[in-house]
Structure 1
Amino acid sequence: MTHQDRRRIAAGLAGRLTYAEIARQLARPTSTISREIARNGGPGGYEPERAHRATARRARRGGPVSAPVSSAATVDAAQEKIIELAVRSGLPRTIARVHMDLLMSETGTRTAAELSRRLEISPASVSASVNFLIDTGYVRRERDPRRRRDRYVVDDQAWYHAVVISSRQTLETARAALAAAATIAPDDPVGRRLSKAGTFLERVMLDSIESADRSRSLLT
């Protein structure tokens, strides 16, 4: 990150821009901006000159110290790519960001307040996102009795549940298509179309569920 980049970060903070807005201006991942600010005084104490000198000192030390910076940049790029792929497949960006933040948490858990603060999104957006992720099997909700608040958890079994839930939902659609086809004359083109689609989807989804059951031990 250049000295000019850091000055633009400071200007963005002074202008009360969000980390995401600053990141867009610099064409950088939001997580990179968040990490840069956090390690250099936080949003209330960020000074571009001091941040630049501190980074230069860390670089001069050489050896292993420089490796985490490169590694962090690689991780940031990977996260952004995964989010973009999820968005391209139809997932709303906010939901993709919430899911990624949970995945990248060391413990695989966050509270709603943590997600809201880290991603700079409203509590309502967090609620809508985690509810979607819970419904689709990617996340589960746990109650923290000591703090009397919910925690949202991603564990290894989430991938199994997500595959099975998605397959079962499509299987319901396939069987509804077959049921509709059964009410239409066999030589009707609409009936044939529904029958073929239903038969294909039913077979593929049953295979998907069977494969998930067979491979579930890989997640343990």
Structure 2
Amino acid sequence: MPGKRLDDEERQLIAQFLWDGLGYSEIGRRLQRPASTIQREVVRNGGHNNYRPGAAHRAASERAMRRMPAVDDLDVDDEAYSFDRSPGKVQEFHLRLVAMFRQTGLSHTAARVLAEIFMTDKGSLTATELVLRLSVSPGTVSRSTAYLQSIDLLRAERDGKRMRYFLDDDLWYRAWLSSAQRNSTWADTGLDGAEIFGLGTPVGARLKDMGQFFAFVVVDMESTRQKWLDFFEKKKRARGEVTEDA
């Protein structure tokens, strides 16, 4: 069952599949497990060339006995496979989502962090959960989440002693607004530069073109912004989320 601890039989199969030259994604499909679970299991227990199923199973049992917060104990993949979701389709979409985020300019780890949080129904994960899901260091998670917060794609709140990261309903609007502000800066800078260098000079003409282009973009984005705000307000009212002050 996806999200539950690997058993001895599954670990024996992992060793055999590795010997046969299969990759983590294919092993995951055959066992109906996330590829990330297979990768964590192998990396944690000697790596691709030194994985020993018996030793891996004993180590997992010892962790469970010590009540360590190992990834197996947290069932971190359970939620993604609830509601009768297909494990294979979930895995494929996970890879597609990460690739799409990377195409927008995010680093590999930042894209993985955002995808992990997107694929939880509650829309949030703690820093510890991200470390365990991604098999990366706390420092790596800290740097990636800080960057995502800086571009308004994540919100952080203290959850007891832990830091929890959230997706807001209006996250795309806030990210878009940051982009609009940058475009406005480009427009102002280009037009100011054109005046300084002279509109009749090659540099001035080039800067004028830049400024006018982004000025047009800003006008269009403002129109889109107002349309979205109207739509979002109607959506919140339909869900009963508008307060008296709104």
TM-score (norm 2): 0.63
Name the structure 1 match of 2:88: 73
CA RMSD of aligned residues (A): 3.3
Alignment check: 8 A CA contact 2:113 2:145 kept = yes
Residue 149 of structure 1, CA deviation: 2.7
Name the structure 1 match of 2:121: 106
Structure 1 runs, 4 residues or longer, greater than 2 Å off? 5-13, 22-28, 33-38, 216-220
Name the structure 2 match of 1:135: 150
Query: What is the 5 A alignment of 1:66-215?
Result: 68=84, 71-144=86-159, 147-215=160-228
Name the structure 2 match of 1:44: 60
- Structure 2 CA distance for partners of 1:207 and 1:152, relative to 1, 3 Å: same
Give the Cα–Cα distance (whole angstroms) in 2 for the partners of residues 173 and 42 of structure 1: 59
Instruction: For 1:126, give the aligned amino acid.
Output: V
- Structure 2 CA distance for partners of 1:189 and 1:43, relative to 1, 3 Å: farther
Q: Which structure features the higher share of helix residues?
A: 1
Give the Cα–Cα distance (whole angstroms) in 2 for the partners of residues 107 and 183 of structure 1: 52
Instruction: For 1:90, give the aligned amino acid.
Output: G
- Structure 2 CA distance for partners of 1:117 and 1:202, relative to 1, 3 Å: same
- Structure 2 CA distance for partners of 1:172 and 1:96, relative to 1, 3 Å: same
- Unaligned 5+ runs, structure 1: 14-21, 46-66
Instruction: For 1:68, give the aligned amino acid.
Output: D
- Structure 2 CA distance for partners of 1:118 and 1:158, relative to 1, 3 Å: same
Is 1:33 aligned to residue 35 of structure 2?
A: yes
Alignment check: 8 A CA contact 2:17 2:27 kept = no
Alignment check: 8 A CA contact 1:164 1:209 kept = no
TM-score (norm 1): 0.69
Name the structure 1 match of 2:242: none
- Structure 2 CA distance for partners of 1:200 and 1:10, relative to 1, 3 Å: same
Alignment check: 8 A CA contact 1:171 1:206 kept = no
Q: Give the percent of matched residue pairs that are identical in Structure 1 and Structure 2.
A: 29
Give the Cα–Cα distance (whole angstroms) in 1 for the partners of residues 148 and 228 of structure 2: 22
Give the Cα–Cα distance (whole angstroms) in 1 for the partners of residues 133 and 145 of structure 2: 15
Instruction: For 2:204, give the aligned amino acid.
Output: G
The count of aligned residue pairs is: 181
